Amino acid sequence: MVNSPLFKLDHLTICQQGTDQKPIIDDVSFSLAQGQRLGLIGRSGCGKSVTSHAIMDILRPPLVRKQGEAILQGQDLFTLSPVEKHRIRGRGIFCIFQSPGSALHPALTVRQQMSEISTVIDLDQAATSDVIEYAFDRMQLPIRCLEQYPHHLSGGMKQRVLMAMALLLKPKFLIADEPTTGLDVLTEQDVLTAMDVMLEETQSSCLFISHDIRIVKRVCSDLLVMQDGKIVDRCTRDELTYRERAETTREIIDAMKVA
């Protein structure tokens, strides 16, 4: 990497407050170049999602950050004031969560949840409305979905609504936390295609979290492998198959071969 990275996580350590147990996230560091798609892979419960929550600074108590820096374009996200934090969220850094079923507000229509983004991207209502329709078109979502409530939409559609939000926000750094978990294979393809379209357009750098190496290989150029809160392996997509890998990585690859 020649130029300085867009995002850099340094020595992130997360503990459970009030206990002396070993850290949930143990000294995790990585960096992301402009436009890079980095995969974070590991078994369920190894700390992938906690890492993403920590970067967004929305850890659920009793989890607390013991140390670490998250530098986005020279700014440490962890030391920002609350006002600066909410300013950098959305356009600077955005996160598509696992479980789209609960990610959208059940009592607000899709349009309400899309158009409130206008307050973040400084567009008036009319312009926002146009952008929303454009984004829905790109995500191959029918316009009528806008007037519906989230429970009307299928899992894949909800996930694509989240992608459409990313299209509006054009975040510099996007975290996608298991966006295809719980979807059938065909829907998964739709969502991944939509994500390609979205990333192509937003030019966001992406941290893609998954437990599924098949998908990570499709989306990402580089990989991190996590186990028990530690990064145990780093490699590029092409190195995966033939280089001598860490045990966890091999286990994950083997698991995929069996499946």
Partner 1 sequence: MQTFILKRIATAIPTLLGMSMLGFFMVALTPGDPVEMELRRLGVIFTPDQVTALRQEYGLDQPIFKRYLDWLIRLLHLDMGHSIASGRSVLEEFKTHLPLTLILASLSLSLSILLSSLFGITAALTRSQILGSFVQFFSIFLVSIPSFWLALLLLFIFALSLEWISLLGSGAWYDLVLPVLTLSLGSAATMGRLIRDRILAAMSEDYIRLAITKGLSPALILRRHILKSILPPLVTNWAVTFGALLGGSVIVENIFNLPGLGQMALQAVFERDFSILQAYLLFMGLIFFVSNFIADLLNYWLTPHFREQNSSQGATE
- Determine the interface stretch with partner 1 among 1-9, 41-49, 85-93, 192-200 (rule: CB under 8 A): 85-93
Q: Which of 23, 68, 90, 229 binds partner 1 (CB under 8 A)?
A: 90
Q: To which H or E segment does residue 161 belong?
A: helix 155-169
Using CB under 8 A as the binding rule, whether residue 189 contacts partner 1 is answered as no
Half-sphere exposure of 181 (CA within 13 A, CB side): 19
Using CB under 8 A as the binding rule, whether residue 255 contacts partner 1 is answered as no
CB of 105 closer than 8 Å to CB of 116: no
Q: Can you spell out the DSSP letters for 110-139? A: HHHHHHTTHHHHT--HHHHHHHHHHHHHHT
**Which one, 6 or 252, has the nearer CB to partner 1?**
6
Give CA–CA dist 134/5, Å, rounded.
31
Q: Which of 11, 22, 86, 243 binds partner 1 (CB under 8 A)?
A: 86
**Which one, 95 or 216, has the nearer CB to partner 1?**
95
Which residues ranging from 163 to 182 are in contact with partner 1 (CB under 8 A)?
A: 165, 169
Q: Can you spell out the DSSP letters for 81-102? A: -HHHHHHHBTTTEEEEPS-HHH
Q: Which of 8, 43, 65, 91 binds partner 1 (CB under 8 A)?
A: 91
For residue 112 the two structure tokens come to 């309400």
Contacting residues toward partner 1, per CB under 8 A: 56, 58, 60, 82, 86-92, 94-95, 97, 99, 102-108, 116-117, 119-120, 148-154, 157, 162, 165, 169
